[in-house]
Amino acid sequence: MHKLKPEEIKKDFPIFEQEINGRRLAYLDNGATTLKPVQVLEAVYNYNTRAYGNPHRGAHQLSIRATEEYESARERVKKFINAGSAEEIVFTRNTTESINLIAHSFGKAFVEEGDEIVLAISEHHSNILPWQRLAAEKKAVLKYMYINEDGRISLEEIRKKITSKAKIVSIAHMSNVLGTIHPIEEIIAHAHKIGAKVLIDGAQSTPHIKVDVQQLDADFYVFSGHKMLGPMGIGVIYGKKAILEKMPPFLMGGDMIEYVYEDHASFAPLPYTFEAGTQNVEGAVGLRAAMDYLEKTGLDKIEAHEKELVEYALDRMLSLSYVNIQGPKDLNMRGGIISFTIDDAHPHDVATILDSYGVAVRAGHHCAQPLMRYLNLPATSRISFYLYNTKEDVDQFLEGLKKVRKWLGYGS
């Protein structure tokens, strides 16, 4: 396998042409959102200047072209994650909306009093709050799988928490705080054995590792375009057709109907049942271009490149006595995310000091307060890699990191 050339890749991303605080930009906040290559920007521009219209409506050329663009983006998503059919791909605004839709509609159709909904303690709030509401509405029971000291969920924990009362298990493929890649194959196999469905939150995984939803046998797989070089405001649900067909619509309105009468209506077939109102066509077109870019680059290469950067960064961070790393130490169990704390320094101060070195990192609870409480941490700082990051970015980060304690008045 040829190695990725991040310096070449960077040239496709105009945002790197500017300096930040007088330094080259070391963008290490890819877990929050990713930057856009010209190929994505141009695809959106070309759509808006050549094919813009409201899809699925008019007989005129622009509407027809917009419909073709939108549906070709759906086909692209289907191929990217190897779904069985385009009917199983629903466009949403983001991962958050995807999970809300499923919690609402799957919950309405399938969840009853006393049923159990199983999550992991490391979930993003987007994969907790919709289930809390469903549990309250249906008098269902919310249960959590807890992680061990290494940031992992053990097989015993999976078997203990996913019992015959479970209706749905919802878990991130990769934790946005710890970088842990959860054992979703084992979770899916076990859940299916006892008759529960599984939703995988792929917000942090789809951009970085090859996902094959049929091979995984996930019932639902969701993700956001803006974390994989695409535009904000476009997200995806993959759902098995046999399950989606039994779920009622989430939003009601135009484009998702078949016939409407004064007092009732019938609905359009999949996937349109779940796409009410005018959709984000330019977002879908941008996502299609992003997927083209990622596949052309090679997801296997991207994954290997990020592993190399994590190893390079972890080695050097671990040699600093005042740096504490969260999550698995075993590289095979984590993706391109490292959360850490520095003795005597608040994570927000760390992020602010790093910013003055041109290094963009995230600090805070990372929308995972139950995990933070479980780990007994108020917050962490986090670096997260992508295909355009280089060892030079890591060195720039380390340069700033080594100055943090001095800035705050400590000796070293």
Active site amino acids: 367
Instruction: Assess 203 for contact with ligand 7TS (CB under 6 A).
Output: yes
List 204, 273, 297, 326, residue binding ligand 7TS (CB under 6 A): 204
Which residue, 100 or 273, has its beta carbon nearer to ligand 7TS?
100
Question: Per the structure block, which two tokens stand in for 8?
Answer: 């070449």
The answer to whether 406 touches 324, Cβ cutoff 8 Å, is no
Told to check if 100 binds ligand 7TS by CB under 6 A, we report no
- Asked if 208 interacts with ligand 7TS (CB under 6 A), we say no
SS3 112: coil
Contact 243, 54 (CB under 8 A): no
Residue 66 or 203 with smaller CB distance to ligand 7TS: 203
Instruction: Give SS3 for 183.
Output: coil
Exposure on the CB side of residue 252, measured as CA atoms within 13 A: 7
For position 96 contacting ligand 7TS by CB under 6 A, the verdict is yes
**Given 34, 170, 176, 297, the residue binding ligand 7TS (CB under 6 A):** 176
Residue ranges of alpha helices (H) inside 94-221 are 95-110, 129-138, 155-161, 184-194, 213-216
- For residues 242-301, which are near ligand 7TS according to CB under 6 A? none
> For residue 33, what are the CA distances in angstroms to 96, 122, 362, 367, 385?
14, 19, 11, 14, 11
User: Hey, what's the torsion of the CAs at 243, 169, 228, 249, to 10 degrees?
Assistant: 40
DSSP 259: E
* Residue 129 binds ligand 7TS (CB under 6 A): no
List the one residue from 12, 201, 219, 306 that touches ligand 7TS (CB under 6 A). Answer: 201
Q: How far is the CB of 324 from ligand 7TS (least distance, A)?
A: 19
Nearer to ligand 7TS, 66 or 178 (CB): 178
127 binds ligand 7TS (CB under 6 A): yes
* Contact set for ligand 7TS, span 339-368 (CB under 6 A): 362, 366-367
CB atoms within 10 A of CB 104: 19
Residues in the chain: 412
The neighbour count for residue 195, using CB atoms within 10 Å, is 9
Closest CB to ligand 7TS among 94 and 280?
A: 94
Q: Determine how β-strand 26-27 pairs with β-strand 116-120.
A: unpaired
Asked if residue 182 binds ligand 7TS (CB under 6 A), the reply is no
**Residue 334 binds to ligand 7TS (criterion: CB under 6 A):** no
The answer to whether residue 124 forms part of the interface with ligand 7TS (CB under 6 A) is yes
122: Cβ contacts below 8 Å, ≥ 6 apart: 147, 151, 172, 175, 177, 178, 180, 182, 368, 371
Specify the stretch interacting with ligand 7TS by CB under 6 A; choose among 42-50, 122-130, 144-152, 258-266.
122-130
Per-residue contact string for residues 17-46; x = within reach of ligand 7TS by CB under 6 A = --------------xx--------------
- Identify the CA nearest to 397 among candidates 364, 350, 345, 365: 350
CB of 133 to ligand 7TS, least distance (A): 16
Selected binder of ligand 7TS within 94, 206, 273, 326 (CB under 6 A): 94
Binding-residue total with ligand 7TS (CB under 6 A): 17
Provide the binding-site residues for ligand 7TS, judged by CB under 6 A.
31-32, 94-96, 124, 126-127, 172, 176, 201, 203-204, 224, 362, 366-367
